[in-house]
């Protein structure tokens, strides 16, 4: 570990609370274990789960750092046992189980993807969490395929903007919802085929009208609660409902006979607690299928704003205000 100091600046709140608990403190630089690399972080993506963690509602999985941050981009500056020497000095972005809000972070080498010339470090840091999540849920669990129509809630969220980008590349028709006409216009500007203002329109009726009554192949849902039976009404026969969050409620009442009659599938997943072997497999697949589009500059994340690490509180406040479109990023 040449030229790497032993302490670093990081955000590591001692207790849950509001954005003000996100103060810069000094922490030891982590050491890469077998199969891991140490990244000098240039930028770290902010995700909604970081806010839940800050509030005390989403503790890090066992073994993960208490420092928040699920994705970074930067340069590999040290290697753990078993990592090939060529990785040293490589610019990468990485999916983390935590630890991104810091000057240095450790990642399993299998969860790193190369940063192509087409991307800035800020852009690269904004990709992994939403790309892994949308890929594994919309395409793998939801089996979305070319020609399908899909409904994605939160069209201007980090997740929603990534879903729009992937839908455009892989030939899906994408309908999104958002909470204002301005956000609907932004989503359409980014490539959504249709955008429904869920505050002024009934998204079930709109989806039926858009699809000529046929419904969607997949719903990617981050709301839960009473959205679930309404989403089911938006599904075509054999449709798939994929839950990735429960912002609107943990519980739902669903008509079981509808699942039987129209052969619907209800599924979902959480990415963070999955092991490094699973995440490594996803990274390999993304490298083959999506990364060529990243290298060509055809897939780039939508950046809302970036903040210095010391202003992490302002970054969280912006996300909680709900005014953002796309990703918020911290720069070191
Ligand atoms: N399962 C997983 O593995 C996984 C991984 C990453 C993220 N997630 C989840 O995915 C969600 C998006 O994450 P993000 O980082 O992209 O967050 P984000 O940018 O803050 O977006 C949150 C979105 O939720 C929408 N929303 C909230 N309440 C809603 C409601 N009642 N009806 C319709 N839309 C509503 C907001 O829409 P408006 O602003 O238009 O109202 C906003 O677009 C979060 O809930 C996060 O926890 C899950």
Per-residue pLDDT of the chain (332 residues; tens, 9 = 90+): 556 789 999 999 999 999 999 999 999 999 999 999 999 999 999 999 999 999 999 889 999 999 999 999 999 999 999 999 999 999 999 999 999 999 999 999 999 999 999 999 999 999 999 999 999 999 999 999 999 999 999 999 999 999 999 999 999 999 999 999 999 999 999 999 999 999 999 999 999 999 999 999 999 999 999 999 999 999 999 999 999 999 999 999 999 999 999 999 999 999 999 999 999 999 999 999 999 999 999 999 999 999 999 999 999 999 999 999 999 999 99
Tokens of 181: 């006409």
Q: Please give the number of the atom of ligand 1 that sits closest to the Cα of 136.
A: 3
326 lines ligand 1 (CB under 6 A): no
Q: Please give the number of the atom of ligand 1 that sits closest to the Cα of 272.
A: 3
Within the chain, residue ranges assigned H as helices are: 48-54, 121-125, 128-134, 158-169, 181-189, 203-210, 227-234, 256-261, 276-289, 291-295, 312-321
Number of neighbours of residue 256 by Cβ within 10 angstroms: 9
Number of neighbours of residue 40 by Cβ within 10 angstroms: 18
C-alpha of residue 234 to centroid of ligand 1, in Å: 19
C-alpha of residue 26 to centroid of ligand 1, in Å: 31
Q: Please give the number of the atom of ligand 1 that sits closest to the Cα of 269.
A: 1
129 lines ligand 1 (CB under 6 A): yes
pLDDT at 310: 98
Q: Please give the number of the atom of ligand 1 that sits closest to the Cα of 70.
A: 6
- The candidate with the shortest Cα–Cα distance to 163, out of 144, 184, 185, is 144
**195 strand-pairing partners:** 176
Closest residue CA from atom 29 of ligand 1: 223
Torsion sign over Cα 296, 301, 307, 312: negative
pLDDT at 5: 86
Residues with Cβ within 8 Å of residue 107, at least 6 apart in sequence: 36, 37, 39, 72, 92, 94, 95, 96
**CB 126 within 8 Å of CB 327:** yes
Q: Which of 69, 135, 154, 267 to mutate to test the pocket of ligand 1 (most atoms within 8 A of CB)?
A: 154
C-alpha of residue 1 to centroid of ligand 1, in Å: 38
CA distances from residue 303 to 80, 139, 245 in whole angstroms, order as listed: 32, 23, 22
**75 strand-pairing partners:** 40, 91
What pTM does this model have? 0.98
pLDDT at 214: 98
Tokens of 234: 């938006």
Tokens of 283: 């990274």
Residues with Cβ within 8 Å of residue 275, at least 6 apart in sequence: none
pLDDT at 152: 99
Closest residue CA from atom 2 of ligand 1: 270
pLDDT at 2: 55
Within 105-180, residue ranges assigned H as helices are: 121-125, 128-134, 158-169
45 lines ligand 1 (CB under 6 A): no
Tokens of 260: 């039987």
270 lines ligand 1 (CB under 6 A): yes
Distance CA 8, CA 1 (A): 14
First vs last C-alpha separation in the chain: 19
Closest residue CA from atom 46 of ligand 1: 48
Residues with Cβ within 8 Å of residue 234, at least 6 apart in sequence: 151, 203, 204, 207, 208, 215, 216, 219
**221 strand-pairing partners:** 243
82 lines ligand 1 (CB under 6 A): no
- The candidate with the shortest Cα–Cα distance to 57, out of 219, 246, 203, 195, is 246
Instruction: Indicate the burial class of 319 (C-beta count within 10 angstroms; 0-12, 13-18, 19 or more).
Output: buried
Element (H, E) at 237: strand 235-243
176 lines ligand 1 (CB under 6 A): no
**CB 174 within 8 Å of CB 150:** yes
pLDDT at 1: 55
53 lines ligand 1 (CB under 6 A): no
C-alpha of residue 321 to centroid of ligand 1, in Å: 12
């Amino acid at each position: 570990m040449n030229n790497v100091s032993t302490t670093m600046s990081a955000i590591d709140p001692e207790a849950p609370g509001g954005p003000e608990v996100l103060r810069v403190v000094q922490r030891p630089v982590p050491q890469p274990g077998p199969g891991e690399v140490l990244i000098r972080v240039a930028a770290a993506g902010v995700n909604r789960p970081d806010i839940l963690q800050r509030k005390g509602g989403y503790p890090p999985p066992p073994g993960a750092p208490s420092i928040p941050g699920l994705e970074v981009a930067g340069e590999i500056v040290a290697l753990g046992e078993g990592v090939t020497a060529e990785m040293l000095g490589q610019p990468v972005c990485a999916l983390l189980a935590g630890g991104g809000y810091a000057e240095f972070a450790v990642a399993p080498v299998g969860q790193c993807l190369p940063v192509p010339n087409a991307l800035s470090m800020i852009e690269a840091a904004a990709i992994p969490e939403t790309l892994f999540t949308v890929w594994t849920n919309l395409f793998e669990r939801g089996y979305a395929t070319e020609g399908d129509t899909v409904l994605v809630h939160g069209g201007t969220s980090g997740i929603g903007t990534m879903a729009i980008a992937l839908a455009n590349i892989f030939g899906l028709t994408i309908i999104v919802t958002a909470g204002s006409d301005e956000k609907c216009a932004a989503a359409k500007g980014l490539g959504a085929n249709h955008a429904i203002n869920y505050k002024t329109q009934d998204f079930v009726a709109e989806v039926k009208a858009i699809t000529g009554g046929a419904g969607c192949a997949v719903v990617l849902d981050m709301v839960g609660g009473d959205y679930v039976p309404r989403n089911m009404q938006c599904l075509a026969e054999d449709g798939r409902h994929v839950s990735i969050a429960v912002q609107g409620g943990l519980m739902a009442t669903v008509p079981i006979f509808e699942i039987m009659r129209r052969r619907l599938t209800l599924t979902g997943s959480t990415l963070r607690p999955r092991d490094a072997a699973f995440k490594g497999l996803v990274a390999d697949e993304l490298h083959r299928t999506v990364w060529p589009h990243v290298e060509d500059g055809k897939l780039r994340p939508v950046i809302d704003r970036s903040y210095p690490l010391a202003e992490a509180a302002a970054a969280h406040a912006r996300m909680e205000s709900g005014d953002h479109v796309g990703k918020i990023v911290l720069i070191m």
